[in-house]
Amino acid sequence: MTPNRGRWLQVALLSAAFVVLVAISLASIYWLNRARDDAAWVAHTLEVENNISLALLQIRRAESAERGYLLTEKNEFLDEFELAASTILPQLRTLQQQTKDNAEQQRALTEIFTLAQSRLDQFRQVLELGKERKVNQAAEMLRVNAGRETMNRIRELALEMRRIEQRLFRERTIAAERSQSLAAAVTTSGAWLVVILATISIALLRRSAKARDEAEAKLLDANLNLESIVTERTADLREANEEIQRFAYIVSHDLRSPLVNIMGFTSELEELRHDIFRRIETLSRDPATAPMPETADSDSDPQLSDTDQKLSQDFSEALGFIKSSIGKMDRLITAILALNREGRREFRPVRIDTRELIEGIVSTVAHQAAEANAQIRVEPLPEIVSDRLALEQIFSNLIDNALKYLKAGVPGDIAIRGREKLGFAIFEIQDNGRGIDPKDHQRIFELFRRAGPQDRPGQGIGLAHVRALVRRLGGTMSVASTLGSGSTFTITLPTKWLATSRDTAA
Amino acid sequence: MSKPVTIIMIEDDEGHARLIERNIRRSGVNNEIVPFTNGTAALDYLFGSNGIGHLHKDRPLLILLDLNLPDMSGIDILRRVKENDHLKCSPVVVLTTTDDAHEIKRCYELGCNVYITKPVNYESFANAIRQLGLFFSVIQVPQAVA
C-alpha cells in the first residue's frame, strides 16, 4: 500500500466514523423522542379511562344522594348531590378536551353529555318535588323508571369508551415498546460500528507508524552507508592524490637524468666543434705555407673560409637552441619538483595575526614597491588558525604579482582587505594594475600558463602554487578583473583550519 | 708507499658515467675507475661471491654511488658498505639527482661521506666533478681493514 493511499483511507475512515456517530445520535434522539411520546400517549389513555370512571362515579354519587334525600330528607344529602352534580359536567368537558383527537369518543361523549344533563335535570325535578313534600310524586317519577334507561345508556357508552381506550392503551404500549427497543438497537449497533471503525483506524495508524519506523531505519542505514562511502571515496582520493605526487616526483626525477646527459654531451659537442673547426682550418690551409700554427695559438678562433665560417655559425646556433631549451626544461622540472615538495610538506596549524604577517611581507617588498611607485595599504585583517608558511607564500605571491603587473605610468595602489563570515575569513588583494582579460581568468591558475604581454620574467607557477595551497588549506580562491582596470583576488580560508580537515581538502 | 686508490663508480646511466669519468680525468686524476651500471654487479664486486668483502683488504677504495639504480636503491649499497668491517672506512660519495632533504639526511646517517646533487647545468656539473677529482687527488684513503 502506498503511503498516500493509506493516508486517504485513514481520513475516509475517520470521516465515516464521524458521520456514523452523528447519524446514530440523531436516530437515538428521534427514537427516544418517539418512545417518550408513546409513553405520554399511554399515560394519556390511562388518564382518559380514569376520567370516564370518575364521571360515572359522580353520576352514581348524585343518584344515591338524590335517593338518600328522598328517604331521609336530610339536607347533607342535598349538599352531597350538589357537590357531585357540579363536578360531572366539568369532568365530561375535560374528557371532551382530552379525546379531541378521537371522533368516535367525541361522539360518545356528546351523547353522554346530553344524557347526563337530562339525568341531572330529572334529579333536580325529583329533588324539587321532594322539597315541596310531594314525595308521592317523586316516588312516582322514580317508579316511571325513565332515569334507569338513561343511566344504562350512559353506562353502555362509558363502557364502550373504556373499551376503545383499552384498545388504544394496548396499541400505544406496543408502539412505545417498539420505539424503545428500536432506540436501544440503534444505539447499540452505532456503538459497535464506532468500535469497529476505531479498531480499523488504530490498525491503520499502527501500520503507518510501522512503515514510518521502517523508513526511518532505512534512512539511518542510508546515512551510515553514505558516510562510509564518503570516507571510502576520501581515502581513494587521498590515495590518488598521493600517487599523483609520487608520479610527479618520479617523472621529474627521471626526466632530469637524461637531461644531464643531453646537456653534458651538448657541451662536449661544443668542445668538439672547436676542435673540428680547428682541424678544418689546418687542413684547408696550404700545408706548405702553414707549418703547424695550432701549436702557436690553439685557444684563438680558427681562421676559416666564408663557407666554413657559415657552417661554424650554424653549428653554434643549433647548439645554442638546444642549450636554451634544455635550460628551460630544467627550470620547469625544478618548478614541478618544488611544487611537489610543497605539496608533500606537512602543514602545522597555528594562530596567525594575518595583518602582522602581511605587513611583514609588505616590508620585504618595500624596495620593489618604491621602484614601481606603488603604495600598499593593509587594512585590519582577521586572525585565523592556519599554516604560517603556506599563508606567507600565498600572500607574498599575490602581492608580488600585484607589484609586477602594474600599469605603466600609473602610480600603483594595492589594498589588502579582510573580513570574517560564517567560519571563513575572506581576504581581498586589490590592485589598479593592468588587469586580466576575463577569458584568461581560468588560465592564469594553470601551471606554466600566463596571460597578457609576456614582458615580465616568470614561469607561470605562482598562481598555480597559490591555488594549490589555498585548496590544501580548505579554502577557495577566485579573481575578478577586467583588462586595464586592475584585478581583485579573493581568497576564502577557514578561520580554524585543523590538520584533519586536510583529508577533505585533499 | 700506499697503493693508488681505486674508484668504484656505481652509476646506471652510461652517459652520466662517461661524463663523470671524462671530467675526473680532466682534473688530472688518473686512478683506476671501475664502472658498474647496476647494484648487483657492484655488490658482487665489492663483497665477492661469499659476501664477506675481504677481497679488497689491501686496496684503498673510493665509492662513487648513484642512488637511483635499476635493481636496487643506492641506499642499500651504502648501508651494506658501511656495515661491512672491511669496507666501512672507504669513503662513499653519493652523486645523484635526488635532492630530497630526507634522502640526504638518511645517507649521512648511514655514513655517507659526501653527498652531491648532480647539477643539470653542464658547466656546474663539469665543475663539480672536476673539483671532486681535485678532492680525490688530495684525499687520504685508508686501506680496507684486513
List per-block mean pLDDT (blocks of 10 residues) for chain A, which spans 506 residues. Answer: 68 81 85 85 86 85 82 82 83 82 82 82 80 74 70 83 85 85 85 85 88 94 92 90 83 81 87 87 68 50 76 87 86 82 82 90 89 88 90 91 87 90 91 88 84 80 88 90 89 83 42
- State the pLDDT at residue A501: 45
Q: In angstroms, what separates the C-alpha of A242 from chain B's closest C-alpha? A: 16
The reply to whether residue B16 touches residue A257, judged by beta carbons under 8 angstroms, is yes
Q: Does A245 touch chain B (CB under 8 A)?
A: no
CB A460 within 8 A of CB A431: no
User: What digits encode the pLDDT tens for the residues A190-230?
Assistant: 888 888 888 888 888 898 899 999 999 999 999 999 999 99
| Contacts with A337 from chain B: Cβ below 8 Å | 99
CB A346 within 8 A of CB A502: no
Q: Does A271 touch chain B (CB under 8 A)?
A: no
Query: Has residue A398 been placed in a domain?
Result: yes
Query: Has residue A453 been placed in a domain?
Result: yes
Q: At what angle do helices B122-138 and A146-284 cross, to 10 degrees?
A: 70
Same domain for A393 and A478, yes or no, is yes
- A365 grid coordinates: 617588498
Query: Has residue A233 been placed in a domain?
Result: no
The reply to whether residue B13 touches residue A327, judged by beta carbons under 8 angstroms, is no
| Contacts with A257 from chain B: Cβ below 8 Å | 13, 16, 68, 97
Query: Has residue A238 been placed in a domain?
Result: no
Same domain for A501 and A410, yes or no, is yes
Q: Report DSSP letters for B4-41, one per residue.
A: PPEEEEE-S-HHHHHHHHHHHHHTT----EEEESSHHH
- State the pLDDT at residue A294: 46
The reply to whether residue B15 touches residue A261, judged by beta carbons under 8 angstroms, is yes
Instruction: Look at chain A and report how many structural domains it folds into.
Output: 3
Range of the domain at A324: 245-339
Same domain for A39 and A23, yes or no, is yes
- State the pLDDT at residue B146: 52
- Residues of chain B under the 70 pLDDT cut: 1-2, 120, 143-146
Query: Has residue A224 been placed in a domain?
Result: no
Q: Report DSSP letters for A285-344, one per residue.
A: S-TTT---GGGT-TTSPPP--HHHHHHHHHHHHHHHHHHHHHHHHHHHHHHHHHHHHHHH
Where a domain ends, among A291, A324, A339? A339
Where a domain ends, among A293, A320, A339? A339
Nearest C-alpha in B relative to A334? B120
- State the pLDDT at residue A230: 92
- State the pLDDT at residue A502: 46
Residue A299, Cβ neighbours under 10 Å: how many? 7
CA geometry: angle A32, A35, A36, nearest 5 deg: 85
Q: What letters, b where the CB count within 10 A reaches 16 and e where it falls short, cover B93-127? A: bbbbbbebeebbebbeebebeebebbbbbbeebbe
| Contacts with B122 from chain A: Cβ below 8 Å | 260, 263-264, 266-267
Start-to-end CA distance of chain A, whole Å, equals 46
The reply to whether residue A256 touches residue B126, judged by beta carbons under 8 angstroms, is no
Where a domain ends, among A183, A210, A237? A210
Q: Which of A254, A256, A341 sits opposite B120 (nearest CB)?
A: A256
Query: Has residue A108 been placed in a domain?
Result: yes
The reply to whether residue A264 touches residue B100, judged by beta carbons under 8 angstroms, is no
Nearest C-alpha in B relative to A270? B122
**How many whole angstroms separate alpha carbon A56 and alpha carbon A119?**
12
Same domain for A382 and A291, yes or no, is no
User: What digits encode the pLDDT tens for the residues A291-313?
Assistant: 554 444 455 566 777 888 888 88
- State the pLDDT at residue A442: 86
Same domain for A259 and A376, yes or no, is no
Same domain for A351 and A317, yes or no, is no
Same domain for A68 and A196, yes or no, is yes
* Per-residue DSSP letter, A219: H
Query: Has residue A175 been placed in a domain?
Result: yes
Query: Has residue A328 been placed in a domain?
Result: yes
Instruction: Compute the half-sphere exposure of residue B13: CA atoms within 13 Å on the CB side of its CA.
Output: 21
Same domain for A369 and A455, yes or no, is yes
Residues 6+ positions from A217 with CB-CB distance below 8 Å: none
Q: Does A257 touch chain B (CB under 8 A)?
A: yes
Same domain for A21 and A168, yes or no, is yes
Same domain for A192 and A255, yes or no, is no
Same domain for A34 and A110, yes or no, is yes
CATH number, domain at A499? 3.30.565.10
Q: Tell me the ipTM for this assembly.
A: 0.71
Based on the number of CB atoms within 10 Å of its own CB, is A453 exposed (0-12), middle (13-18) or buried (19 or more)? exposed
The reply to whether residue A260 touches residue B16, judged by beta carbons under 8 angstroms, is yes
**What are the phi and psi torsion angles at B27 (to 5°)?**
-80, 5
Nearest C-alpha in B relative to A260? B120
- State the pLDDT at residue A479: 92
Q: Write down all domains in chain B, each with its CATH number in brackets.
A: 6-138 (3.40.50.2300)
- State the pLDDT at residue A503: 43
The reply to whether residue A341 touches residue B100, judged by beta carbons under 8 angstroms, is yes
Same domain for A12 and A101, yes or no, is yes
CA geometry: angle A452, A454, A455, nearest 5 deg: 120
- State the pLDDT at residue B30: 86
- State the pLDDT at residue A500: 58
